Structure 1
C-alpha cells in the first residue's frame, strides 16, 4: 500500500530519486513499504524539508538505519516493525 492510496489528509511527498536509490542500494525498499503510509510520508517529508544537504543526508541515514534495525520510528519505539 503506497501513500497515494492511504487516505492521508496532510500533504503527501513524492519519493525523490536519491531516497529510492538509497533504499534500493541497502535492500530496504520492502521494509519501507511495510511501514504505514503515514510513516512513509513522514520520513520523506522530514528528509526533503531539510534546508542543508548535510541535514538531508543525516536524516536519510537515520531512516535507513531505523528500517534496517526495525522496532523504531523517528527515534521512538515502534513495536509493530520489530524484527522477529
Structure 2
C-alpha cells in the first residue's frame, strides 16, 4: 500500500458501526489497517482524532480523521 493512501480504521469488534465501515471498505476493495480499541480504555489516537465525543469507529485517511459510520461510508464512496 502506498504511503499517500494509508487507511487506518479504529474500532471495536462488537460494534455494528465498525462492522458497517469494514464491510464498505471490503466491498470497495480498499486496503486498510484495523486497530482494535478497548471500549473502557481508549488509546490516545481516539482522544486526538475525536476529542469531544470519543466515539468509534474513526477512519484515518492519510492522517485525516473521519468519524461517524455513515459519514465514513459516504467518504469512502466518494473518494
TM-score where L is the length of structure 1? 0.34
Of Structure 1 and Structure 2, the greater strand share is in: 2
TM-score where L is the length of structure 2? 0.35
Of Structure 1 and Structure 2, the greater helix share is in: 1
> Which structure has the larger Rg over C-alpha atoms?
1
